Amino acid sequence: MDHRKRAEEIVSKMTLAEKMSQMRYDAPPIERLGIPGYNWWNEGLHGVARSGSATSFPQAIGLAATFDPVLIKTIGSAISSEARAKYNGYRRFGNTAIYQGLTYWSPNINIFRDPRWGRGHETYGEDPYLTARIGAAFVEGMQGDDPDYNKVDATLKHLAVHSGPESIRHSFDVHPSKRDLWQTYLFAFDYIIRHSKAAAVMGAYNRLDGVPCNGSTELLEDDLRGRMGFEGYVVSDCGAISDFYNGHNVCPDAPHAAAQAVKAGCDLNCGGSYAHLMAAYEAGLIDEDSITKAVTRLFEARSRLGMFDDGCPYDSIPTDAYDTAENDALAREAAQDSIVLLKNDGILPLSPSKRVAVIGPVADSKLVLLANYNGTPKKTVTLQQGIIDAVSKAGGKTFCARGCDIVGRDIGNWEENPFREALIAAGNSDVVIMTLGLDPTFEGEQGDGYNSQRGGDRADIDIPEIQMALYREIVKLGKPIVFVSVSGSCLNLREADETANAVLQCFYPGQEGGNALADILFGEVSPSGRLPLTFYRSTDDLPDFTDYDMKGRTYRYFDGDVTYPFGYGLSYTKFEYSSLRAEKDGCGLKASLKIKNAGCRDSKEAVTLYLRPDDVSDGAPNVKLVCVGKVFIKAGDTAELTLDIEPDALKYTDEDGNYYFRKGKYTLLAGSCLEKYATASAHIKL
């Protein structure tokens, strides 16, 4: 079907005012043409959001921690099926209101360059290639595989170079080097657009080299539609075009801002600025051809979503096909695979028949399950409840205590004394499970929660002192301790690493988080999650938050010691890597290796390959991820794998921002990004 031609025919029948009206996110109906009203705003970061009952999968950072693009594509497909089910129900009302449509403003593929950024947990972590692979899989699952129709539209956000500080995002100007721009900040956009044909892109709030991203011809036309070959539509972040004159002060008023954005290539406005397009036209700031081009792209998208047809195959998805038992099981699997085991002296897995204390302010919180941009699942299992259920089933006993609040006054200063309750619970137990960390009101978007004065960002990477004071008192009891760190970002876990018997990182894990954590703790499942970001030792290790130079940031450029490196994660079994070889295969590499499960437990294993140049004097990263996947290996079995290292993974960027294949000597590492954790290596020449 020629959706472009259909869009041109529809738009040709519109008046100029009608065309302009369709460039608003809340587009009104055009009754004389039989065009229903449509609201473009929908969220689906880790499940259908803000639209009633829906499955809530792990937060995006948790999806990245699975290191499993195949699983993520399955999750994307499950989310889009729920989106279609809801749309098929809503459309009977004759139009769709906010959060009821098919155009989803996800995924967030910005790079989590600094762990203080509040919205970092919405991303896939700090690595451009992991972000590209996980993001591409999510987009493919969301948009479906029908040759004529999109299941939903996925929207890559936020273009570009956007990762805090939140408090100044409406006025901030970013000046990255051309190398950092294309090697780090734009790589995933470029990759996903070329490989997965993302339908839409959302522009960022900030300026890039002095020009607001939603009004930059260089960014939207030259880079996005030109160099990347993007063929879809661009939507502004909400209120971003009004920032042209309210925050960035590059335009005198709304008509000038609207005209600049449209001419630069921003087709759809989330906000009210495009209500001034007629004034811009009458002032000679914009012509009708520019309006027509934008509206045609929007109606091509609506046509490809089947909004004007009776024969779209996705119309057959039942209106009750959401929050299903099948998706509940998928959410549990995803949560299991997202939990990262960071330390284990042999205490894990635990016996559920023991006396177990569950202590900490996030243990019984639904907030830490659902994160932000979330739906409302009909069932949620908190971390505490999952442990209680598993222990009760095995005949053990659970003691629970909040201990303290996430942040607050010194322990013991209020009428209820959860601190003493925690000491009693720990004293009655055989083992203590400490659940400490953050929730999404402590790290989030501008205006969220405790840190609203910082726009949702954090001042440091430390666990709040009130929680650590509680932890230190529990340590004095001499009980075995399993430390469960709960957050969407890096926390300072040095003290836990030194004093706890085991440490796990539980990223906001979705509706099945409690069951998944219990599955890991009590050995029903062997952990297989990996860290999608570096866990630094101290905030002092970080460059200035406003500095977008990649020097000293992320595992690719940081030279200091860390508590836990990117890609790190332990298992309950032992995997032995051997026979790693690689040879050129066109512009890519063909690698082969053997992985033996030498332990006594069946387990998944995240298979990661990294490339380390012998010489990085030209500004190349110290090391970078070049292959990622997941394999299930039964105890005692050996998997013989052939892995394709695609040309995109091998590309480097010169100082002018051009990709090239860099000649030289390299070491290919299997197992982790650092040699002391790598279990196999091979020397190659490119």
The pLDDT of residue 415:
56
Classify 92 as helix, strand or coil. Answer: helix
Q: What is the distance between the alpha carbons of residues 233 and 200, in angstroms, rounded to a whole number?
A: 5
The pLDDT of residue 416:
66
Q: Is residue 10 part of a domain?
A: yes
Q: Does 302 share its domain with 329?
A: no
Angle, CA of 509, 609 and 65, to the nearest 5°: 5
Q: Does 46 share its domain with 112?
A: yes
Q: Are 458 and 442 in contact (CB under 8 A)?
A: yes
133's tokens: 């692979």
Q: Is residue 320 part of a domain?
A: no
- Domain containing 417 — which CATH number? 3.40.50.1700
Q: Are 372 and 445 in contact (CB under 8 A)?
A: yes
**DSSP single-letter state for residue 220:** I
- Domain containing 59 — which CATH number? 3.20.20.300
E-strand ranges in 207-301 read 207-208, 211-212, 233-236
What is the domain extent for residue 54?
3-313
Q: What is the distance between the alpha carbons of residues 149 and 314, in angstroms, rounded to a whole number?
A: 8
Q: Does 348 share its domain with 252?
A: no
- Domain containing 622 — which CATH number? 2.60.40.10
E-strand ranges in 492-543 read 502-506, 535-536
Q: Is residue 87 part of a domain?
A: yes
Q: What is the distance between the alpha carbons of residues 191 and 188, in angstroms, rounded to a whole number?
A: 5
Q: Give the residues across from 583 on adjacent strands.
A: 590
The pLDDT of residue 450:
54
- Domain tally for the chain? 3
> What's the distance, CA 613 to chain centroid?
28
346's tokens: 């042999």
3-state helix, strand, coil in the chain (%, to 5): 35, 20, 45
The pLDDT of residue 178:
98
Q: Is residue 319 part of a domain?
A: no
Q: Is residue 569 part of a domain?
A: no
For residue 435, the number of C-alpha atoms closer than 13 Å in the C-beta half-sphere is: 32
The pLDDT of residue 675:
65
Q: Does 297 share its domain with 266?
A: yes
**DSSP single-letter state for residue 335:** H
Q: What is the distance between the alpha carbons of residues 309 and 511, in angstroms, rounded to a whole number?
A: 35
Helix (H) or strand (E) holding 466: helix 465-475
The pLDDT of residue 74:
98
Q: Does 546 share its domain with 518?
A: yes
10-residue block means of pLDDT along the chain (686 residues)? 96 98 98 97 98 98 98 98 98 93 98 97 98 98 98 98 94 97 98 98 98 98 98 98 97 98 98 98 98 98 96 96 97 98 98 97 97 96 98 97 83 67 97 96 76 76 96 98 98 98 98 98 98 97 97 96 96 96 95 96 97 93 96 98 97 96 95 73 91
Helix (H) or strand (E) holding 259: helix 254-264
Q: Does 292 share its domain with 364?
A: no
| C-alpha pair distances (Å), 228 with each of 32, 182, 589, 660 | 38, 11, 23, 15
Classify 35 as helix, strand or coil. Answer: strand
Q: Does 122 share its domain with 246?
A: yes
Please state at what angle helix 3-12 crosses helix 288-304, rounded to 10 degrees: 130
Domain end marker among 531, 564, 597: 564
Q: Are 191 and 649 in contact (CB under 8 A)?
A: no
Neighbour count for residue 329 (Cβ, 10 Å): 11
Q: Nearest 10 degrees: CA dihedral of 362, 366, 370, 374?
A: -140
**Helix residue ranges, H only, 476-598:** 494-499, 513-521, 554-557
**DSSP single-letter state for residue 58:** P
The pLDDT of residue 520:
98
Q: What is the distance between the alpha carbons of residues 26 and 39, in angstroms, rounded to a whole number?
A: 4
User: How do strand 481-486 and strand 502-506 relate by DSSP bridges?
Assistant: parallel
The pLDDT of residue 311:
87
Domain end marker among 537, 564, 591: 564
| Residue from 87, 20, 28, 98 nearest 268 by CA | 20
Q: Does 506 share its domain with 404?
A: yes
| Residue from 534, 584, 578, 580 nearest 560 by CA | 534
AA letter at 674: L
Calculate Rg over the CA atoms of the chain: 25
E-strand ranges in 260-337 read none
All residues at 6 or more sequence positions from 663 whose CB lies less than 8 Å from its CB, including other chains: 686
Q: Is residue 174 part of a domain?
A: yes
Domain end marker among 262, 278, 313: 313
Q: Are 214 and 237 in contact (CB under 8 A)?
A: yes
Q: Does 546 share its domain with 583?
A: no
Q: Does 552 share its domain with 583?
A: no
Q: Does 34 share its domain with 109?
A: yes
Question: Which residue is associated with the tokens 């499970």?
Answer: 433
Neighbour count for residue 417 (Cβ, 10 Å): 12
Q: What is the distance between the alpha carbons of residues 138 and 85, in angstroms, rounded to a whole number?
A: 18
For residue 160, cis peptide bond before it (omega within 30 degrees of 0): yes
Active site residues: 237, 443
98's tokens: 């906010």
Q: What is the distance between the alpha carbons of residues 118 and 121, in angstroms, rounded to a whole number?
A: 7
Q: Is residue 472 part of a domain?
A: yes
Q: Does 523 share its domain with 460?
A: yes
Whole-prediction pTM value?
0.97
Residue 229 φ/ψ, nearest 5 degrees: 75, 25
Q: What is the distance between the alpha carbons of residues 110 and 60, in angstroms, rounded to a whole number?
A: 12
Residue 424 φ/ψ, nearest 5 degrees: -65, -45
Q: Is residue 164 part of a domain?
A: yes
| C-alpha pair distances (Å), 662 with each of 178, 182, 610, 616 | 17, 15, 15, 11
